[in-house]
């Protein structure tokens, strides 16, 4: 089943927070994720740079770390930076997600693609999911037991639902693999790339992986 882009929050078996993202695409599969300092960007692969002129929504920062690793913001679009900046300025996570989602709204492409966002906050050990669709806005703090995860996608599975068991990764690299081909995501088609941020004692460890690797 094709559900488009996916954001996920999870808790490892030993209780550490994780936020992750999967790019899935039928129209623009020639993209990759690049880690640079405290952010991760989705960009066209070499030779496909012209794709950004066909669709302005395909290149963006999908991850930003806030406050030297206090929180990780993960999204499917250009809302990543304003959400991170509002949190860095002291706005509560719920308000940052709601205000930016409402202001930027869903993407105005031919599919009315929702904006989906996730935050893992080490400061109070909380996890959040948000989505703004053409028919509404949802923002929720997600209760996560160890080994559980929750996600929301742009299509089909685009409503917030309770967390479920089965999150097995222990590090960021394994979390990328899980997003591409693990658990329920193995049944979700057209993966392109995945990124993950897993909490450590001092911040977050970032990783990225192309689905073709």
Q: Write the pLDDT tens digit of every residue in 118-162.
A: 999 999 999 999 999 999 999 999 999 999 999 999 999 999 999
Average pLDDT over residues 155-174: 97
- Whole-structure pTM value: 0.96
CA–CA gap between residue 138 and residue 182 (Å, rounded): 26
Count of helix runs (H) and strand runs (E) in the chain: 3, 13
Domains recognised in the chain with CATH numbers: 6-210 (3.60.20.20)
| CA-only gyration radius of the chain, Å | 15
CA–CA gap between residue 190 and residue 168 (Å, rounded): 22
């Amino acid at each position: 089943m094709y559900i488009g882009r996916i954001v996920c929050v999870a808790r490892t078996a030993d209780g550490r927070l994780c936020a992750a993202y999967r790019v899935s695409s039928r129209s623009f599969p020639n993209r990759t994720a690049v880690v640079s300092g405290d952010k991760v960007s989705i960009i066209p692969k070499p030779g496909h740079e012209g794709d950004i002129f066909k669709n302005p929504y395909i290149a963006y920062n999908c991850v930003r770390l806030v406050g030297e690793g206090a929180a990780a913001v993960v999204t499917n679009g250009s809302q990543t930076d304003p959400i991170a900046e509002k949190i860095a300025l002291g706005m509560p996570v719920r308000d940052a997600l709601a205000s930016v989602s409402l202001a930027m709204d869903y993407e105005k492409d031919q599919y009315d693609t929702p904006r989906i966002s996730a935050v893992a906050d080490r400061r109070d050990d909380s996890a959040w999911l948000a989505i703004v669709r053409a028919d509404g806005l949802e923002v929720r703090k997600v209760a996560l037991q160890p080994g559980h995860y929750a996600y929301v996608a742009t299509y089909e599975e685009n409503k917030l639902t309770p967390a479920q068991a089965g999150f097995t990764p222990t590090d960021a690299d394994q979390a990328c693999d899980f997003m591409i081909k693990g658990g329920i995501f193995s049944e979700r088609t057209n993966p392109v790339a995945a990124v993950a941020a897993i909490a450590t004692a001092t911040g977050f460890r970032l990783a990225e992986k192309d689905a073709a690797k």
